[in-house]
Structure 1
Amino acid sequence: MRSIWVLMLASATISAAQKYRVGDNPACAIPCIMAASKVASCSVIDESCVCPSHEFQEVVEGCTLGSCTFKDALATKNITWTACGYPNNDEYPKTIPARVTLFVLLPTLSFVLRMVVKKAGLSVWGADDTTIVVAYVFILGMTASDYIWASFGAGRNLWTLPERNVTKTFQMLFACQIQYFITLTAIRASILFMYLRIFPSRTFRIVLWATHAFNALVWTAFLLIIVFRCIPVNLSWTFWNGGGSDHCLPIDKLGTVQGVVFIALDVWLLILPATQVWRLNMKKSRKFGVTLMFGMGIFTTAIGIVRLKSISEATKYPLNPT
Structure 2
Amino acid sequence: MMFSLPALLLATLMLSSGVLGQVPAGLEGFPVCATGCITEAFEQGLCAATNQTCICTDATFQAQVTQCVTSSCTIPEVLVTRNHTLTSCGAPVRDRSHQLLVVSISMASVADVFVLLRFIYKAFVMQMEFGLDDWFVLATVVAGIPSVVIIGQGLVPNGLGRDIWTLTATQITNVVRNFYMMAWLYFLQTALLKLTIICFYMRIFPSQDVRRLLWGTFIFVTLWGLAFVLTAIFQCWPISYFWHRWDGLHQGTCIEINSFSWSNAAMNIAIDCWILAIPIWQLRKLHLHWKKKIPVGIMFSLGFLYVLSHYSKQAQLIFASVTIVSILRLRSLVNFGTRDNVTWEFYDVALWSTIEVCVGIITACLPTVRIFLVKIFPILSGSSYASRGAYYNHSSNPRSGIMHPARNEVRIASKGRPESVSDGGSPPGIQFQKSYAVQYSDNDESSLVPGTEIELSSPPKTWQRNPPTN
- What interval of TM-score do these two structures reach, taking the shorter chain for normalisation? 0.7 to 0.9
* Shift of residue 207, structure 1, vs aligned partner: 1.3
Q: Retained in 1: the 8 A contact 2:75–2:248?
A: yes
Q: Is the 8 A contact 2:101 2:152 kept in 1?
A: no
Per-residue CA shift, 1:232-286, capped at 9, x if unaligned? Answer: 1110111123344761223333222211211221222211111111122333332
- Paired position in structure 2 for 1:127: 132
| 2:121 is the alignment partner of 1:117 | yes
The amino acid that maps onto 1:84 is: C
Contact 1:255 / 1:308 at 8 angstroms: preserved in 2?
A: no
- Partner secondary structure for residue 120 of structure 1: helix
SS at match of 2:236: coil
Instruction: Give 1:105's aligned residue.
Output: 109
Tell which deviates more after alignment, 73-82 or 132-141. Answer: 73-82
* Corresponding position of 2:237: 231
Judged with a 3 Å threshold, the aligned counterparts in structure 2 of structure 1 residues 107 and 65 are, in CA distance, closer, same or farther, namely farther
After TM superposition, give the deviation of residue 161 of structure 1 in Å: 1.4
For the 8 Å contact 1:61–1:73, the answer to whether it is kept is no
C-alpha separation in 2, matches of 1:200 and 1:99: 37
Tell me, in whole angstroms, the C-alpha distance in 2 between the residues paired with 1:253 and 1:119.
44
Which range moves more in the overlay, 253-262 or 131-140?
A: 253-262
**1:252 to 2:261 alignment:** no
* C-alpha distance in 2 between matches for 1:203 and 1:255: 34
Equivalent residue of 2:129, what SS? coil
Q: What one-letter code is carried by the residue in structure 2 that aligns with 1:147?
A: G
Structure 1 residues 253 and 83 mapped into 2: Cα distance closer, same or farther (>3 Å)? farther
Match of 1:180 in 2: 186
Q: 1:62 deviation in Å?
A: 12
Q: Corresponding residue for 2:308?
A: 302
* Aligned residue number for residue 295 of structure 2: 289
Confirm whether residue 164 of structure 1 aligns to residue 170 of structure 2. Answer: yes
Of Structure 1 and Structure 2, which has the larger fraction of its residues in helix?
Answer: 1
Equivalent of 2:219, from 213, 223, 235? 213
Secondary structure of the corresponding residue to residue 200 of structure 1: coil
**Closer, same or farther in 2 for the Cα pair 1:63/1:237, shift >3 Å?**
farther
Q: How many angstroms does 1:204 deviate by?
A: 1.1
Residue 204 (1) aligns with residue 210 (2): yes
CA shift, 1:176, in A, is 0.8
Between Structure 1 and Structure 2, the one with more strand by share is 2
C-alpha separation in 2, matches of 1:78 and 1:171: 23
Residue equivalent to 1:321: 343
Structure 1, 50-59 or 219-228: larger mean CA deviation:
50-59
Q: Unpaired runs of 5+ in structure 2?
A: 1-20, 41-45, 310-325, 345-470
Q: TM-score scaled to structure 2, two decimals? A: 0.55
Identify the match of residue 78 of structure 1 among 48, 71, 83: 83
RMSD of Structure 2 on Structure 1 (CA): 3.7
Name the % identity.
25
Q: Secondary structure at the match of 1:240?
A: helix
Distance 2:181 2:252 in 1: 21
Unaligned runs of 5+ in 1: 1-14, 35-41
Amino acid of the structure 2 residue aligned with 1:117: Y
2:334 equivalent in structure 1: 312
Q: How far apart in 2 are the matches of 1:195 and 1:59?
A: 64
Matches of 1:243 and 1:54, distance apart in 2 = 30
**Offset of residue 69 of structure 1:** 5.9
- How many residue pairs were aligned? 298
2:279 to 269, 273, 291: 273
Instruction: Output one character per residue of 1:274-306: Cα deviation in whole Å (capped at 9) or x when no partner.
Output: 111112233333222222222232232133223
Tell me if the contact between 1:192 and 1:212 (Cα under 8 Å) persists in the aligned partners. yes
Q: Which has the larger radius of gyration?
A: 2
